[in-house]
Homo-oligomer: A and B are copies of this chain.
Amino acid sequence: MSEHEHPESENTSRPVRNITDLARLAGVSPGTVSRALAGKSLVNAKTREKIEALARQHGFRPNQMASKLRRQKTGVIGVAIPLGHDVHQQISDTFFMTLLGHLADELTDKGYDLMLRRVIPAQDEDWLDRFIGSGIVDGVIVIGQSDQFDRIEEIADGYLPMVVWGNHQEGQRHCVVGSDNRLGGKLAAERLIAAGARSLAFLGDTEPIEFAARFAGAKEIADRMSIPIRALPTHLSADRMNGEIAEHLSEIEGKVDGIFAATDAVAVACLRELRERGVSVPNSVKVIGFDDLPIASQTVPPLTTVRQDIAAGAKGLVDLLLRRLAGVDTESLVLPPHLIARETA
C-alpha cells in the first residue's frame, strides 16, 4: 500500500488533516508537532520519533501554505523570462533553457523552489511588479533583459532581492550576472582577423543589448585594425532566420570573408547555408559563433566559438540572490568569455 493512501483500516477516526489532528493522536500539543516535524532541536527524541512515525503512517505532511503565511517567507524564487523582441525566439532557445536547468539545480541545492514565468512585456506592463509584489516569491531572477532594461532599473531601486542575467552597462543600478559580451566580441573579431579575414560581418539582431555589445566589441577591434565590419540584421526565430541568412549571404558574396554570428544557433544555420552554396569554410569564409552550445562541436567543420560558462552563470545568479535575500546590496558579476578554437576560424 502506498504511503499516500491513508490507511483507514488501521484507524477508524477521520483522516489526519492538520497538525492538530496529529497532536491529538500523539497525545501532545500542536506546537510540539510543529517543532518535531520542522526538525527543531528542542524536542525529546522519543516524542519526535513517535510523531514522525504517526505522520508517516498517515501520510501526513504539514501544509506549506499555512507555514509560508505564518513565517512570511515562501522558500520560492521566481524566475522570469521576458519575451521582448522576438516572442518565439526563446521558446527553444538552448542557451536560456540550459541556464534554467542549472538554475533549477542550484536553487534546489540551496533549498529553494523555482517558480517559472514567461512573460510578454508588451502585453503586460506590470509583469515584474506583479511577480514581486504578490508575496508569492522571496526573490526574483530575470533571465535576459530583453527590451526591459529601464523597467528593471526602476524596480531595482525599491526591491533588493533581484538578480538579472544579462549585459552589464556602466553605472546601471540593477545587479546583473553575465558574460562580458564586449570582450567576447573582441575575441571573436581578433580570431577572425588572425585567421586571415579582411572584411567582417556581424550576423544577428543588434537590438538586444547583449548582442549590441558583442557587435560593439567586434567593431572596436575591426576599427582599430582598419578592417571593415557591417551588421547583417537577422531574426533569431528559426522560421525567419534561414531565409534572412540566405539573403544576406547572396548580398555579401565575395565581399565578406569573416562572419561573426550572434549565437551558435545563427552560426549553425549560416554554416549550412554556406555549404549549400559551395562556399568553403574556413578557406573562403571564416565563421565564429557565440555560446559554445553542445551543437557547436557537432557541426562540420566543428564550430569555433566564444564560450559562455553557463554553469558558473547560474551559480553566480543564485549566490548573489541569496546574499541579497540576506540584505546585502551586491555588485554585479561579469564573467569572462573564452575563445574555443575549432575549425571554422
List the interface of chain A (C-beta within 8 A of B): 2-5, 59-66, 68-69, 74, 76, 79, 90-92, 94, 97-98, 100-102, 104-105, 108, 113-118, 129-130, 132-136, 154-155, 157-159, 238, 265, 268-269, 272, 275, 293-295, 298-300
Other contacts beyond A97-B101, A265-B294: 14, CB < 8 A: A5-B157, A60-B133, A63-B134, A65-B69, A66-B69, A91-B101, A91-B105, A104-B117, A113-B117, A114-B116, A114-B117, A115-B116, A116-B116, A272-B298
- Protomer copies: 2
CB-CB < 8 A to A129: which residues of B? Answer: 3-4, 59, 61
CB-CB < 8 A to A79: which residues of B? Answer: 116
**Complex: chain B residue closest to A265, CB-CB:** B294
Select the residue from A76, A92, A157, A275 with max chain B CB neighbours within 10 A: A92
**Is B92 a contact of A101 with CB atoms below 8 Å?**
yes
**Complex: chain B residue closest to A101, CB-CB:** B91
List 21 A-B residue pairs with CB atoms under 8 Å apart, sorted by A's residue number.
A5-B157, A59-B133, A61-B129, A61-B130, A61-B133, A65-B68, A65-B74, A65-B136, A91-B98, A92-B101, A94-B97, A97-B100, A97-B101, A101-B118, A104-B118, A113-B136, A115-B115, A116-B116, A272-B299, A272-B300, A295-B295
